[in-house]
Amino acid sequence: MSSSFLAALPEVELHPGKPPILRVDAPGDAPAWAAENREALRGQVAEHGALLVRGLGLRAADQAGAVFRGLGGDPMEDREAFAPRQVRGPGLYSSSTWPANQPMCMHHELSYRQEFPGLMLFACLTAPGQGGATAVADAERVLQALPAELTERFQREGWLLTRSYNDEIGASLTESFGTDDHAAVERYCHDHAIDFGWEPDGSLRTRQRRDAVVRHPLTGRRCWFNQIAFLNEWTLAPEVREYLVDVYGADGLPFNTRFGDGSPIGEDVVRLINATYEDHTRREPWQAGDMLLVDNVRTAHSREAYTGDREVLVAMAEPRRSADRRPTPDGGRR
């Protein structure tokens, strides 16, 4: 890494309980500044796992998209989303549609896909009145902090994601797969090791088994990498879970997670995972114009509950395919 790039940037601020923060004077041309300082910025992400850049003055979607392309190259297309997003530009999306009063717990973006983003890029165009931080947590430290017996089981078996698609809760079939053509959806499932079945009413149910612990593609260190707690029924607010079970049945929830052998994951396990994440969470309230870069394998992220308006744009870059991705055993029609 060129020392001239690093010398051009101020020193990164490191404070307990907060992500690393780089304060800069608003450049006249933010995309050009980002492209010029790409190596230094990416070096900080490699060192710390995440970096909040404050002072860029990002205000528009096209501006944020240009900055993101300068830092991460061509963005990934969103597929298999669990919640709908609005398209704001090529490879540029709104944050996931999720009730403002409900937090989105720690997770690694698209960790249930065979190909997942190595880099997440966020831009805050409008900061919320209160709350709404995109917090981060070190996945290596979370893995080390969880009980060995639990992580060893997940490492042996992986984790199972089950989904039931409908047009009312979560992302619809079209929003997840980009099409409602059954043949095209089946081809996608076959190609991506997803076990699927069509219900009598025409809705789709899927199962996919993936690794819960992976090695970082650059460092080789083991990371807790999954969405086991976030997409589990016990993370839902009690009244929401009761409503969904009443309407769709225990086996028809829009999404749920299990141990890799298909056994249910108890509420105690989910609470333990979320509590461990909280012990390692670093947060900083958004300010309008901020940018956050996140190493998606080394670092989990969340979205906290908030009040007021909030506009955060998201891009996903640097697709990764881990050598130890674990496919669904039968990977086809049920």
pLDDT digits (tens, 9 = 90+) for 82-139: 888 999 999 999 998 888 998 999 999 999 999 999 999 999 999 999 999 999 999 9
Choose between 330 and 105: higher pLDDT: 105
Of 58, 53, 68, 66, nearest to 22 by C-alpha is 53
pLDDT of 249 reads 86
Share of the chain above pLDDT 70, in %: 94
Least confident of 96-100, 133-137, 221-225, 229-233: 96-100
pLDDT of 250 reads 83
Of 188, 213, 39, nearest to 111 by C-alpha is 213
Per residue in 56-66, pLDDT (tens digit) is 999 999 999 99
Strand 21-23, strand 50-54: pairing: parallel
**Beta-bridge partner residues of 52:** 21, 292
Tokens standing for 46? 């490699």
pLDDT of 84 reads 87
pLDDT of 326 reads 53
CA angle 235–142–72, rounded 5-degree value: 90
Per residue in 258-286, pLDDT (tens digit) is 999 999 999 999 999 999 999 999 999 99
State the pTM of this model: 0.92
Decide if pLDDT at 188 tops 70. Answer: yes
pLDDT of 6 reads 40
pLDDT of 3 reads 38
Q: Rounded distance, CA 45 to CA 51, Å? A: 6
- For the chain, the average pLDDT equals 92
Neighbouring residues of 32: CB distance < 8 A, sequence distance ≥ 6: 70
Query: Up-side HSE of residue 315: CA atoms within 13 Å toward CB?
Result: 28
pLDDT of 26 reads 86
CA angle 257–259–260, rounded 5-degree value: 105
Q: Which residue has the tokens 């225990």?
A: 250
pLDDT of 331 reads 46
Question: What band does 323 get if pLDDT is binned at 50, 70 and 90?
Answer: low
